[in-house]
Structure 1
Amino acid sequence: MNVTRCFIAMAVTDEVKRRAQDLIRLLAASEADVKWVEPENMHITLSFLGDVTPEETVDISRAAMRGAERVASFDFTIAGAGAFPDIERPRTLWLGMTQGEERFCDMQHAIAEELADIGYPETARKFHPHLSLGRIKRPTPQLKNLTELLKEHAHFEAGVSPAMEASIYASQLERRGPKYTLIGHAELG
């Protein structure tokens, strides 16, 4: 069976990507062992769907469109450096959201409801909109330096992006990292 790893995400502006890269350069000075996200792969994930067939992508796209049209477009601000599970034990490094977070969560929930109706249940975890910057490959002594830099840049601002449409992507893992291919759009109402 032919399957593709898929997810739904919100793109950010080139300016936000540029500013996020500025922060990555600052954090990389820690020399911690991190796999940094390439600018062309930066996005805010709304829903990870896993392996789906080509036929299922049609239903997924339609569900995403129904959910997205329930929410009017808006702007959101990307700001605040942090980490999952927390800043003292970083595994995933990110920039959070300040302005527009509630509306962003409403949009994600509307899409998730439509996806649940076609058999893709929401995860139990609370949705936390974020722009991933990197993932720790392995803990090293430099991780302490990274933690200090994250604290130092806790209020870093990357800028404003418009939420006008969600995008459906296929993800293919390659030697250099993931490659994302746009396979659909879901415009906000």
Structure 2
Amino acid sequence: MRTFVAVEITDGTVLDSIKKVQSEIKIPAKPVEIHNMHFTLMFLGEITEEMAKKVQAQLDTIQFSSFDIGFIGVSAFPKPKFPRVIWIGLDQGGEKLVELAKLVEEKLAPLGFRSDKPLKPHATIFRIKNKTGDITDQISKYSSTKFGTQKVSSIKFKQSVLTPSGPIYSDIGVINAK
């Protein structure tokens, strides 16, 4: 099974704001479905059922306090002139999300999992498969747009099934803030 550990974006106001921006940005790209919005803390890839049980047991030992994150601005990776991903960043709580990702990695390292790069907190709102050219003009007007805030009170161990119409995510486990 293909798996990852994430913080879901669940606040209705934030999701409505994201959906509005997705409808306004006109580019040949696939928007991420609103119910799939999340921050990936760690991508684990393909694992067995047996390993999933070990991962869940390790994740269950995580203790963290809930915290707020504030969403602001739209940008692109690797850059707006050659975009592959369009994302929304954070102006509050980003450092706490990074700490949480480090904690997840610390707990899963004994099982052989390592992050390939440090977390740069962002929520992907579009994935771009084909070259689309410079989108600086399209997204620059959203560079300081505020999307709202959300409390992070759980992390989720998730399965991802890839389909032609997009990924289908399901929860394997939930770790709630203490």
TM-score category of the 2 structures, normalised to the smaller one: over 0.9
**Correspondence for 2:87 among 94, 97, 103:** 94
Deviation for aligned residue 1:177:
0.7
5+ long unaligned stretches in structure 1:
none
| Large movers: runs of 4+ above 6 Å | none
5+ long unaligned stretches in structure 2:
none
Tell me the residue number matched to 2:152.
Answer: 163
Identity %: 28
CA separation in 2, counterparts of 1:60 and 1:151?
Answer: 40
1:46 is the counterpart of 2:41: yes
Instruction: Letter of the 1:11 partner, please give it.
Output: E
CA contact (8 A) 1:90 1:147 kept: no
SS of 1:128 mapped into structure 2: coil
User: Judging changes above 3 Å, is the alpha-carbon distance between structure 1 residues 128 and 164 closer, same or farther for their aligned structure 2 residues?
Assistant: same
CA separation in 1, counterparts of 2:42 and 2:131?
Answer: 28
CA contact (8 A) 1:169 1:181 kept: yes
1:133 is the counterpart of 2:122: no
RMSD between aligned residues: 1.3
Tell me the residue number matched to 2:5.
Answer: 8
TM-score (norm 1): 0.89
CA contact (8 A) 2:5 2:157 kept: yes
CA contact (8 A) 1:8 1:48 kept: yes
CA separation in 2, counterparts of 1:182 and 1:137?
Answer: 27
CA separation in 1, counterparts of 2:101 and 2:48?
Answer: 23
Instruction: Letter of the 2:146 partner, please give it.
Output: E
Tell me the residue number matched to 1:21.
Answer: 19
Instruction: Letter of the 1:187 partner, please give it.
Output: N
Give the paired residue count: 177
Instruction: Letter of the 1:178 partner, please give it.
Output: P
CA separation in 2, counterparts of 1:82 and 1:65?
Answer: 34
CA separation in 1, counterparts of 2:111 and 2:175?
Answer: 16
CA contact (8 A) 1:79 1:96 kept: yes
SS of 2:112 mapped into structure 1: coil
CA separation in 2, counterparts of 1:78 and 1:65?
Answer: 28
